[in-house]
Every structure is written in structure tokens, then in C-alpha cells.
Amino acid sequence: MRLNVEADKLLKASVPSEANTDSHNSVLDTQVNRTSPRSLDPIKDVLDVRGLRSDPSLDMLEVFLDSSVRDGLSKVTVIHGKGTGALRNTIRETLMSHPLVSSFGPERDSLGGDGATYIILN
């Protein structure tokens, strides 16, 4: 699985000042310094998977839906493009049986029409 993260979302981990010299400095021994609480991070309600293949798109869709529900969103949009319709069909087939999805359909023409899918979350 591949995950793209914006550079400004990366956090620097540091070793605690009172580190135990008997233990190895592992990832579990570090603390994460956050400059701002998660509630101040912008909430994204649009996922753009244009140009990607089905498998990475579905992986991204799963993470996107999970985080959207966690963030309390009720409606999100996936932009998949029009193209041949293969990516659109794969995404919509997945949404049909997804437990977090209440309903979905093509976006309004002014928001991309059949090149984007709106999703109503449970």
C-alpha cells in the first residue's frame, strides 16, 4: 500500500529528555511534538483519484471514508474523472456494499457531473 502525505503534515519525533539508558531508543520510546491539535487541521471533504489505478484508488478511498466518519462529515466527494468510466464503476461498486456509506451518486453538473461521486455517510 502506498500513502501520499503532504510535507507540512509530517511531524518530527524526538527522544524524551528523561530517556532510560537501559532501553533502546525505538519508535515506541519517542514522543511526537505537535504544533497544533488535530482539531485545527483543515478537514478535507474531497478525494481526487484521477489518473490512478483501481487498487491504489480503493485503498485511498477506504482511508478517506474512515477519516471522514471520524471527523464527523456527513457528505464527501470523490473525483475520479470521466475517462472510460472504469475507475468510476470500480469506486461505485465498492460504495454499494460499504458499511460507512448510506447513499451515493453522480455530482451535480456544476461540480463535475459523472466525473465525481457524492457520498452520504452513515
The domain spans of the chain are 40-121
DSSP state string for 59-122: HHHHHHHHHHHHTT-SEEEEE--STTSHHHHHHHHHHHT-TTEEEEEEPPGGGTGGGEEEEEE-
What global pTM score does this model have? 0.65
* Chain segment 8-65, per-residue pLDDT in tens: 777 766 554 444 444 444 333 333 333 334 444 566 899 999 999 999 999 999 999 9
Is CATH 3.40.50.850 the classification given to domain 40-121?
no
